């Protein structure tokens, strides 16, 4: 049987998806890109200083089109210097966390898997703190090295959780959550230990970063995150069809020719890479990787060939919208965006947990 002929196997809780067609994929991408552009324009327009969407568009295209200057210097500074880097970072981080969550849920066949709940974000945060301890700065070469430290910490945490939670090649909910809690607490303690050896100024920077915020970063940091997202997404899409087959169970997948262990290793590495990149610039932002893949699954079905790219785009939209709320709800002060995602995600997680409990853990 060829890979193309294999059916898109659904997880146990989802309905079978319609087959992937070019027209369906085009509609999906078109709809999500339109929503992404609307959210982007809204995020750039609204804030303490409100700028009309037509003036925002004029600013963005002034360098390539002969447009009249219809904005003030204050508006230009607010949009081009503050909001554009922040909104771009929000989109990249949201995309990273969402596609990582979708990948972890697919490989574990567990709907509660998420980088934050599994402790992978904590591992990545530990890697970033170690980078600060070693003198790796946020600019220049440090902007490239920080995501690599985050990747190493995330991969270590993911492997430990997998080893702790695995029972006869399965990842039951109870052991997965307990392993995630244990790993999160361990790395939280490790972060406190390392933080006690850094200077007061560095400690303040670490605390601010780990709160989960989207303070503007330099072009090098944004480019490093974008490169990690591009690489990780490419790898995950390459194994999307084997992930569909793995939903049938490891024995069935192996019988159908899937190299189970190779696929699992590939997914863990790629998902850890994008998680580490996101945490290196924003700290731990909870529940994006839990909520967004579920929403994408409800809208587009369980086929990972569509689910993963849909999660990526929806994650970018969600975090840009959450950041907009974080900037407006206590204006002129700003809340860490992690506060908004936690307020949304904690009830969502409770509902999922209660639903599984009523189904006897299935």
| pLDDT tens series, the chain, 362 aa | 333 444 444 444 444 455 556 677 777 778 889 999 999 999 999 888 888 888 888 888 887 777 777 888 888 888 888 899 899 999 999 999 999 999 988 888 877 788 888 888 888 889 888 888 887 766 667 677 888 888 888 888 888 888 888 777 666 767 777 888 888 889 889 988 888 887 777 777 677 667 777 877 778 888 888 999 999 999 999 999 999 998 888 888 888 888 888 888 889 889 988 998 898 888 888 889 888 998 888 888 888 988 999 999 999 999 999 999 998 887 777 888 888 888 887 787 777 777 766 665 55
Reading the block at residue 64, the tokens are: 């390539």
Alpha carbon distance 318, 310 (integer Å)? 12
Residue 315 CA, chain-centre distance (Å), reads 7
Alpha carbon distance 9, 39 (integer Å)? 33
Alpha carbon distance 123, 309 (integer Å)? 25
R_g over Cα of the chain: 21
pTM for this entry? 0.84
* C-alpha angle 93-296-157 in degrees, rounded to nearest 5: 50
Pick from 236, 222, 293: nearest CA to 265: 236
């Amino acid at each position: 049987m060829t890979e193309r002929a294999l059916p898109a196997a659904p997880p146990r809780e989802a309905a079978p998806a319609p087959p992937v067609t070019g027209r369906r994929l085009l509609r999906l991408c078109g709809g999500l890109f339109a929503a992404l552009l609307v959210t982007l324009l809204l995020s750039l327009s609204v804030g303490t200083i409100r700028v009309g969407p037509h003036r925002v568009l004029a600013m963005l295209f002034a360098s390539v089109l002969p447009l009249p200057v219809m904005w003030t210097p204050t508006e230009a500074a607010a949009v081009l210097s503050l909001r554009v880097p922040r909104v771009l970072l929000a989109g990249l981080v949201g995309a990273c966390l969402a596609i990582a969550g979708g990948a972890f849920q697919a490989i574990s066949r567990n709907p509660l898997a998420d980088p934050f709940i599994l402790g992978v974000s904590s591992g990545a945060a530990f890697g970033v703190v170690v980078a600060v301890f070693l003198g790796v700065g946020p600019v220049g070469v440090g902007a490239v090295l920080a995501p690599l430290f985050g990747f190493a910490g995330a991969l270590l945490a993911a492997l430990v959780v997998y080893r702790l939670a695995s029972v006869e090649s399965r990842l039951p909910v109870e052991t997965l959550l307990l392993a995630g809690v244990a790993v999160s607490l361990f790395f939280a303690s490790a972060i406190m230990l390392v933080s006690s050896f850094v200077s007061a100024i560095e400690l303040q920077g670490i605390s601010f970063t780990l709160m989960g915020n989207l303070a503007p970063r330099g072009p090098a940091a944004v480019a490093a995150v974008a490169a990690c997202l591009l690489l990780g997404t490419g790898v995950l899409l390459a194994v999307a069809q084997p992930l569909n087959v793995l939903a049938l169970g490891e024995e069935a997948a192996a019988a159908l020719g899937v190299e189970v262990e190779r696929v699992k290793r590939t997914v863990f590495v790629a998902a850890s890479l994008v998680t580490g990149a996101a945490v290196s610039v924003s700290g731990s932002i909870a529940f994006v990787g839990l909520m967004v893949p579920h929403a994408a699954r409800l809208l587009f079905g369980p086929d990972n060939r569509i689910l993963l790219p849909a999660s990526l785009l929806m994650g970018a939209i969600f975090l840009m919208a959450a950041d907009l709320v974080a900037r407006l709800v206590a204006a002129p002060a700003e809340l860490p965006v992690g506060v908004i995602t936690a307020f949304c995600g904690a009830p969502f997680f409770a509902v999922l947990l209660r639903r599984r409990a009523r189904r006897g853990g299935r």
